Amino acid sequence: MSDQMKLRLALMGRLNAVEERIAAACDRAGRDRGEVTLVAVTKTVSPELAELIADLGVYHLGENRPQELWRKAAAIDRALWWHLVGHLQRNKVERTLPLVHLIHSVDSARLLDAIEAEAARQVRIADVLLEVNVSREANKHGFAPEEVPDLVPRITALNNVRVKGLMTMAAYEEDPQRCRPTFAALRHLRDQLRAELGSAHPLEHLSMGMTNDFEVAVEEGATMVRIGSALFEGLTEGVKA
Ligand SMILES: *Cc1c(COP(=O)(O)O)cnc(C)c1O
């Protein structure tokens, strides 16, 4: 069997395992599997491996660094939905906007304003999520939860940006059940914000859950899970060995 075929089979096995776990979490929560989008985070893998997962039917790919997203989007010659899940510097907004389906990581009012201005200049609508640092870790980006309600007037005034929901990263926990309060808090914040914003801003998305904690996140209402390691970790090396 060729290395390429081995890699494809190994990745298929990983994807099936992740899919089964998402489906089981949906079942436990009484949710439809169709409510949850799997975003494969390709930050640690080559464009070839990223393309391979698209071949297997995963068309939502995520990167945490804008430059790496630009590089992969240019290297992969097919239509994909790119998600930026990491910090976006304002000087990288211009190049990023035409490439991305959704920016998960709007972490300041200044960045929101910069995206609004650039989207207007490019005559496009930018879809974004607001990143909230629910776990309040100093090394994480994001709004403090209490800052989010203050954003209501700003969100209402946007013309070229649609705020589609909220995103968070839970603190790493040995026992993922301990991430549950973080995810529940993000959902409550979303519900509160939605009530203040009204029907023009349905805030349909909760981007939460990574390899360590995605099942708990799905149980708590995630509509997007961002998964890297469970799909890709050790794969290339394992196949070569
Ligand atoms: C890397 C990354 C992920 C994926 O993390 P895994 O634990 O590898 O699944 C998700 N979200 C963000 C923002 C990331 O940087």
**Ligand 1 pocket test, candidate residues 22, 210, 225, most atoms within 8 A of CB:** 210
65 close to ligand 1 (CB < 6 Angstrom): no
Say what the pTM is: 0.96
Mutate to test the pocket of ligand 1, among 129, 226, 232, 233 (most ligand atoms within 8 A of CB): 226
Residues of the chain with pLDDT under 50: 240-241
User: What local confidence, expressed as pLDDT, does residue 200 receive?
Assistant: 79
HSE-CB at 5 with a 13 A cutoff on CA atoms is 2
Ordered alpha helix ranges (H), 91-202: 93-96, 109-121, 152-157, 180-197
| pLDDT value of position 223 | 98
pLDDT of res. 241: 43
Rounded distance from Cα 41 to ligand 1 centre (Å): 6
- State if residue 182 touches ligand 1 by the CB under 6 angstroms criterion: no
Question: Under 8 Å CB-to-CB from 77, ≥6 apart: which residues?
Answer: none
CA of 61 from ligand 1 middle (Å) equals 11
Q: What is residue 201's predicted lDDT score, i.e. its pLDDT?
A: 85
Share of the chain above pLDDT 70, in %: 98
Q: What is the pLDDT of residues 157-204, one digit of tens each?
A: 999 999 999 999 999 999 999 999 999 999 999 999 999 998 878 899
